[in-house]
Chains A and B, each alone.
Chain A
């Protein structure tokens, strides 16, 4: 195992500000893969993406390409490295498919979708000690599901999934409580030249919405005669602990019941899942973040559709989704552009004092709920949700 010098996290992350190196240093990115993505629970799929036996999808856990497969025989979902045990080629190439067996294209090694090595061509050429039982696809040691959301962890030890989700579990309860939903077959991806944490910060950032996306609100008002302007004065930003955070109306207020539908909120589940649950405004969606390099990230967006409704309902949800988030939407492309600008701007750091990115808003007015481990900014525009990410980041990167 590679031993790296310990990171001086106190130099990098302080209350209300982070050193730009957390976005721009390739060595810190490598350490993040090791300390975060290759240790903690990482979101890999929603169960409705794999409805039938034999269904599989490809995704990543940090730098590891993985196959998420549902067995036809026992219906279990398992996660394997997408790496042939022979020479290391990826065994599956299609993002989604249905197959009970996988065959590597290079030399024809065949695996079942439980990961076992079924056979190899010309097996007699191997010696007697060739043991297929030991050459199955490497299985990710822990896979867990919470109300349809499937996570996996490369670490056999550590907090269980519910402990990891902590307060964020209640947010997922609310999303599920809005009614039966499913991930449709359509999704889209975008890549940007910036660090993965910029997307995490942005999904729970109230402060930019009326500014960066002003054109969207203006266009909708002029062309459609409706106001989508969002009164943030009633919303919250929250540090839920474990790096998770929310913005918007507040499922963490105890007087909201899980069954009450239609809260406007976003939740970031550290480190790679964002849920937008703007049921009364824009449709719910899942965003999955894939860190590729310190300055390159890919995000996959899945709109959530409703089960058991007229097709027109989901048609309308998709059109609304496209309006804001789609590749030609009026808002998400703004964010991607800004992520690239940050990645460029953050390089200007060589004069003392220039190196900080600020998350100061609401720092002095945070309400701290020690019992539940929640810190809250009321009245909108607070940056408690960004501080949430870095408080946890600091803790796990120092371990």
Chain B
């Protein structure tokens, strides 16, 4: 059964996060889509970007995981709208 337009086996879920991961071929080359299942926020990564990730250590992702460096930083938009987006998504 499709869930929100995604195959069920494309959902990766832990107790902390839930993302859809799919390979897209809509463009001129393949990309990996990672979509936050709770907010629909998505990123599309090409093979070169993915290769660069393969050469990183998990510790190098630290800044991505710091909520104040992106998703939940002080500013005009305090991030609450982001947090509330998609709260009715039933996982």
Contact = CB atoms under 8 A, between A and B. Distances in A.
Interface stretch (B20-28, B30-38, B45-53, B61-69): B61-69
Given A97-B14, A99-B16, A108-B72, A73 B58 contact: yes
A282 interface: no
Contact of B72 (A92, A94, A102, A121): A121
A89 to B, nearest CB: 13
B85 to A, nearest CB: 15
**Chain B binding surface, main DSSP class:** loop
A110 interface: yes
B68 A120 contact: yes
B16 A102 contact: yes
Interface string A82-107: 00000000001110011111110000
Nearest to A109: B67
Contact of B68 (A101, A103, A119): A119
Contact of B58 (A100, A108, A124): A100
Interface residues of B, number: 20
Nearest to A104: B16
A94 B73 CA distance: 28
A129 interface: no
Contact of B16 (A103, A112, A118): A103
Given A121-B79, A122-B74, A99 B67 contact: no
A101 B16 contact: yes
A231 interface: no
A126 B58 CA distance: 27
Interface string A22-60: 000000000000000000000000000000011000000
Contacts of B74: 122-125
B68 A122 contact: yes
A71 B57 CA distance: 11
A108 B16 CA distance: 10
A99 B72 CA distance: 20
B59 A73 contact: yes
Contacts of B16: 99, 101-103
B78 interface: yes
Contacts of A123: 66, 68, 73-74
10 contacts: A72-B58, A92-B15, A93-B15, A99-B15, A119-B66, A121-B68, A122-B72, A122-B78, A122-B79, A123-B66
8 interchain residue pairs of minimum CB distance? A119-B66, A121-B72, A123-B68, A124-B74, A121-B67, A100-B58, A94-B15, A72-B58
Interface of B: 14-17, 57-59, 61-62, 65-69, 71-74, 78-79
